[in-house]
Chains A and B, each alone.
Chain A
Amino acid sequence: MAAAIDFRDVVVLLGRFPALAGATANVCEGEVVLLRGPNGVGKTTFLRTCAGLNAITSGSAEVLGHDLTADRNNVRRHVGLLGHRTHLYDELTVGDNVRFWASTLGIAESDAMAAADRVGLTGRLLDVEVQRLSAGQRRRTALAVVVARRPRLWLLDEPHAGLDHEGRDNLDELLRQAADAGATIVFASHELDRAESVADRVLEFSGGRIERDDP
């Protein structure tokens, strides 16, 4: 199977700090991979680097066939990133946000609204300003934007955080469906029991490197 992510000795500096210090990883297309490890070991940086948001200081990195050391722009439209921050405009409603971000990728409004519906954002909730939402509802709105993108590579940083039990079950189901449809999913989580039940493989991070690769 083709590699969705192929990192070799990748170093990423945030200021002077090596957030990735020689990370080597290989993720095949269609795999669901969990990134595990304590805070500050490079999981978020790994996800952001895969999305083409961080510059690579040394090493080689290919994501979905795009060489990130040569051009970080081309890969961006093919990934869906759900980070710690939700990337939403507070003053706009849930519906406005989902429609706007979908339209920045040329996605039809009907598809965007179907994605909102898929994560449980329906009815009057669509007309509520994002600044009035709970943390979990914000997270769902951000997830709806990712779903609407239909990315080939899902990059999720603690996606279960802030969601209620029903929302977490819904998210797990969503990830399984996306994987069945051929998408590659890489996610970081501290909810290990739940996350390991979804993942095909686990990459253990330590000190900016991947120390273990457990199937």
Chain B
Amino acid sequence: MIRDALLIARKDLLIEWRSRVTINQVAPLGLLILIVFAFAFDANRNLLTKGAPGLVWVGVLFAGVLTVQRSFTIESADGITDALRLSSISPVAMFLGKAAAVGLQLFVLEIVLVGGAVVFFDSRIGDPVLLIAAAVTGTGGFSAIGCIYGAMSLGVRVRETLLPLLLIPVVAPILLAGTRAFERALDISTQAGWNWVGLLGVMWGVYLAVGTLAFGPLLEDG
């Protein structure tokens, strides 16, 4: 199963490498969100610095929705879902492979966005270990739940508008916990950041469990 999951992840990353949608379109969009906020709150730098963790996660949220959408658009084109169903790859391996590919792309995106926060919002990284742990667990949870909803939207004609509508409310707890952990990692608050990382880890585990159970039936219905 791990071999099959790696096969799917490698294929998705190869498609991204060839098309460069995340690099050329999604990452610039995430940075653009930060820049727009930098212009909007430029008169109040203090507010901008304090709000940086939340703004980074807002960037991750919108860029993440686009990444998930892209990941499932390539599967619905040209009847590819049928070919996946005719293959020997288990739905669990497909889910884990797609979640891994989306997660890796989002993690790279987060590095870019945190860099953007340092440049545009004068953020200072106080606890890099906490920052990386929160980014990994938050991204893992986001990509897992994103792939569940991505599979759910496979057969839907209005997927482009429906997916954000369904996904954004569901990932709100990740946004909240990720923001709190980032606040501690960027030296904005003194509250215990690792508790929020723990919560992100629990959400990641739950979403992975749900995904491994639900992905097969969702693929059949799609």
Task: Please give the residue numbers on chain A whose beta carbons come within 8 Å of chain B beta carbons, in ascending order.
Answer: 48, 51-53, 76-77, 79, 81, 83-92, 96, 100-101, 103-106, 129, 145
Contact = CB atoms under 8 A, between A and B. Distances in A.
A83 B82 contact: yes
Contacts of A86: 78-79
A84 B83 CA distance: 12
A103 to B, nearest CB: 6
Given A91-B18, A96-B14, A79 B86 contact: yes
B161 interface: no
A92 B14 contact: yes
Nearest to B93: A104
B86 to A, nearest CB: 5
Contacts of A85: 78-79, 82
Nearest to A81: B86
A90 B78 contact: yes
A141 to B, nearest CB: 11
16 contacts: A51-B86, A76-B86, A77-B87, A86-B79, A87-B82, A89-B74, A89-B78, A90-B77, A91-B18, A91-B19, A92-B18, A100-B7, A104-B4, A104-B7, A104-B88, A106-B88
Nearest to A86: B78
A211 B83 CA distance: 30
Contacts, number: 63
B79 to A, nearest CB: 3
A86 B82 CA distance: 10
Contacts of B7: 100, 103-104
Contact of B15 (A77, A79, A89): A89
B80 interface: yes
B89 interface: yes
A87 B78 contact: yes
Contacts of A88: 78, 80
Pick the 7 closest A-B CB pairs, nearest first.
A85-B79, A87-B83, A104-B87, A91-B18, A91-B15, A91-B19, A76-B86
B85 interface: yes
B15 to A, nearest CB: 5
A83 B14 CA distance: 25
A92 B78 CA distance: 13
A9 B77 CA distance: 33
B76 to A, nearest CB: 11
B88 A89 contact: no
A121 B131 CA distance: 49
B11 interface: yes
Given A92-B18, A96-B14, A76 B80 contact: no
Contacts of B88: 77, 104-106
B79 A83 contact: yes
Contacts of B80: 87-89
A129 B17 CA distance: 13
Contact of B82 (A81, A89, A103, A129): A81
Given A91-B19, A92-B18, A129-B18, A101 B78 contact: no
Given A77-B86, A96-B14, 16 more contacts: A53-B86, A79-B86, A84-B79, A85-B82, A87-B78, A87-B80, A88-B78, A89-B11, A89-B15, A89-B80, A91-B18, A100-B7, A101-B83, A104-B4, A104-B88, A129-B18
